[in-house]
Amino acid sequence: MNDPKAFYDKYKSLVYNLALNYSTNKEDAEEITQDVFLSVFKKMSSFRNESKIETWIFRVTINKSLDYLKAKKRFKRNFMNDGVSIDQVSQTELSDFNHPGVVLESKEKIQDIYSCINKLSEDHKTVIILLKIENRTYSDVAKIMKISVGAVESLFIRAKKEIRCFT
Amino acid sequence: MQDKLEILSTIKRVSPPDYLYDKILERINNKIQAPLIYAYAACILLLITFNIFSINFSIADNLAAINLIDMPTNFLQYE
């Protein structure tokens, strides 16, 4: 990576949109994008070319997004009170919904689905986002998550079932 | 539910704001400056410690001088 600006320009859209799909908030996505590029620039020398660089960036972005959301949830729970339930925290997450990629007509429906997605486990959430929003193939998702294609399929089926339970 | 999830594919891709790269550079520069701040802090601490020791030594010296002054001089005078 000789030119950091060129590298940033190449992957900025991938990182920002993925972070946006996890956080559903513009400001949070900007924070996550900064964290991702800081980490990538720092660890670039230790990157082994075993996997495609894009797959690696996907992994870093997913991890940073999940870490960021966990920290945010922890902070909110501490701030609001110790006795706040997960449902209440999910509700406050919805009030933060500010996804510039969502068109106004479908905003309400997408917000409803996100209220269910936010209750899923990290793996289930990742599978839904990568398959349904990022439009990645099962094989891509398997490489990103370092699991088999069969495992991705079963995760997706279980995630869909869980979403059905929540609605 | 399958149809419900299909609506997620309508989410459009957006471009990140232009100022984001400058913010990243700013954070990189801040990270580089952080060790320098620690170095300055260590120097200041070292100076303070040195000062405390030197003050303690000078107090001890003064006390010794006072002891000499307070010594009864009678012996010398009458001898």
- Residue A54 falls within a domain, yes or no? yes
Structural domain contains residue A52: yes
pLDDT at B1 exceeding the cut of 60: no
This prediction's pTM:
0.76
Q: How many CB atoms lie within 10 A of CB A88?
A: 14
Closest CB to A101: pick one of B1, B13, B17: B13
Q: What average pLDDT does chain B have? A: 82
Spatial contact of A131 and A99, defined as CB atoms under 8 Å apart: no
A76 is a domain residue: yes
At A35 the three-state DSSP class reads helix
Q: Provide the domain count of chain A.
A: 1
Q: Which of A131, A109, A126, A118 is nearest to A163 (CA)?
A: A118
Tens-digit pLDDT profile for chain A (167 aa)?
A: 678 899 999 999 999 999 999 999 999 999 999 999 999 998 887 777 767 899 999 999 999 999 999 999 888 877 766 555 555 555 555 568 889 999 888 899 999 999 999 999 999 999 999 999 999 999 999 999 999 999 999 999 999 998 886 66
Q: Of A72, A62, A67, which is closest to residue A17 (Cα–Cα)?
A: A62
Residue A113 lies inside a defined structural domain of this protein: no
Domain membership of residue A149 (yes or no) is: no
Q: Is A107 on the interface with B (CB under 8 A)?
A: no
Output the pLDDT for position A50. 66
Residue A20 and residue A14: Cα distance in Å, rounded?
10
Give the structural domain span for A20: 1-84
> What is the C-alpha to C-alpha distance for residues A75 and A72, in angstroms, rounded to an integer?
5
Residue A72 C-alpha, separation from nearest chain B C-alpha, in angstroms? 20
Q: What is the pLDDT of residues B12-33, one digit of tens each?
A: 999 999 999 999 999 988 877 7
To the nearest whole Å, the CA of A166 is away from the closest chain B CA by 11
Q: Which two tokens stand for residue A52?
A: 């495609």
Q: Where are the alpha helices (DSSP H) in chain A?
A: 4-23, 26-43, 53-80, 86-95, 107-117, 122-128, 138-145, 149-166
Inside any domain, residue A1: yes
Enumerate the residues of chain A whose CB falls inside 8 A of the CB of residue B27: 34, 38
Record: contact A8-B21, CB cut-off 8 A? yes
Q: Do A30 and B17 touch (CB under 8 A)?
A: yes
Which residue out of B20, B22, B29, B31 would a mutagenesis test of the A interface target, given it has the greatest number of A Cβ atoms within 10 Å? B20
The CATH code of the domain that includes A20 is 1.10.1740.10
ipTM of the prediction greater than 0.95, yes or no: no
